[in-house]
Each structure stands twice: as structure tokens, then as C-alpha cells.
Amino acid sequence: MFTGIVSDVGRIVRTEEHNDVRRFSIASSYAADTIDIGASISCAGVCLTVVARVPAEAGGSIFDVEAAPETLAVTSVQDWRLDTRVNLERSLHLGDELGGHLVSGHVDGLAEIVAREDLGETTKFTFAAPHGLSRFIAPKGSVALDGTSLTVNGVDGDRFDCLLIPHTLKVTTWGERLAGMHVNLEVDTIARYVARMVGMPDRPSAGA
């Protein structure tokens, strides 16, 4: 689990194809001796497993992750290239401060940025959510976009918007995001389960 509070921005330094699996090497500020093989790291909101790590010459580390066909099909990982920058977050430990909201790292789909408005102190992004996911997004609720916990400002059909402060633009990849780009969307886990329960009958049907 994660919180949607980005702790580093990594950079893709190598990509390899292994049949239908794609392997990425990501440079980060995380110390190599603090990353366990098999650890989970949120990379642009996608929970990926560390399969190798070495210290980087300039400090920090380079760690490897692998993306299976399903991940490549439904997330922005399919578009990662050399020098692509990705938001990073280490997995949550019991007792850690929960500064954002509970995020699983299981991306539900891609949201399109349909508008960006720089308003001085804040920047407003308007997104188009896949139709099947829009019902899980509510005003003042939480969403994870590219691994960043954001508060929904308003909702209009399949579109919703969020306001970002300058600090968020500075310490994440959001400063680089423009209209027409796609970002990984994970809806709030509570909303998903509430919708599931509401859609189920109060009691099992006869014979179940």
C-alpha cells in the first residue's frame, strides 16, 4: 500500500525486452541498501516489484522493475522511454504518517488531461475519466493520478478537475504535464467497495 505522497522523481535509464515482459532500470535518490529485492515501489502510480538494484555512481541507486503485458496494456508504462521521469513512492510501513489516502498501486485506467490552466498560485487540471470509472469520482473525494494523491475539486459527467499547488508541481512530474497527455488513474478504494456493495443484493438468492 501507498499514500500518494511522492517522495522522489526517478528517471528511466535503460529498457529491455524479455519476450512479452519489459524491464526498466530507474535511477533514484533512494539508497540501494534500503531497497530489498522483491520490494514494491509505486512508479507513476503503478505498483512494481524490484528485481535488481545497485548503487549509482552519482549517489542513490538504480533499481530494475518488470512490467507484464497487462500492465503495459492499461497504464502509461507502455510509453516509458529513456529519460522518462516518473513519480516514485516507497511502500507504506505500519505507523507511517498517512499524508494522502490509501493507494494500492493497482491502476484502473488512463485519464486524459483535457485542459491545464495556470492560475497564479494554483494550477487547474481538467481530466476525462474512462466512462466506467467516472462514477467512482466525487467532489472533495480522493484520486491517485500518476501516483499523486489529489483532491477532486469538481465533477461534470466523465470530467473532473483538481487544483495543484506550486510545491506539487515542483517535486513531482506534474510541472511537465500538458493537455492531451494521459495519466494513470486509480480511484479511491473505499468508493470501489461501496459501489460493489450497493450493487449486490441484501441477501443471497434462494438456493445460493
Please determine, for residue 116, whether its predicted confidence score (pLDDT) is greater than 70.
yes
Q: What's the rounded Cα separation, in Å, for the pair 69 and 133?
A: 22
- Respond yes or no: is residue 2 known to be catalytic: yes
Residue at a domain's end among 90, 124, 157: 90
Q: What's the rounded Cα separation, in Å, for the pair 77 and 46?
A: 8
Compute the half-sphere exposure of residue 184: CA atoms within 13 Å on the CB side of its CA.
Answer: 31
The reply to whether 102 falls in a domain is no
- Respond yes or no: is residue 151 known to be catalytic: yes
The reply to whether 205 falls in a domain is no
Give pLDDT tens digits for 120-158: 889 999 999 998 899 999 999 999 999 999 999 999 999
**Pair (76, 115) in one structural domain:** no
Q: What's the rounded Cα separation, in Å, for the pair 45 and 197?
A: 26
The reply to whether 56 falls in a domain is yes
- Respond yes or no: is residue 67 known to be catalytic: no
Q: Exactly one of 31, 34, 49, 73 is catalytic; which is it? A: 49
The reply to whether 97 falls in a domain is no
Q: What is the pLDDT of residue 189?
A: 84
Model confidence pTM above 0.85: yes
**Pair (79, 118) in one structural domain:** no
Q: Exactly one of 40, 123, 134, 142 is catalytic; which is it? A: 40
- Respond yes or no: is residue 49 known to be catalytic: yes
Give pLDDT tens digits for 80-101: 999 999 999 999 877 777 777 8
**Pair (13, 45) in one structural domain:** yes
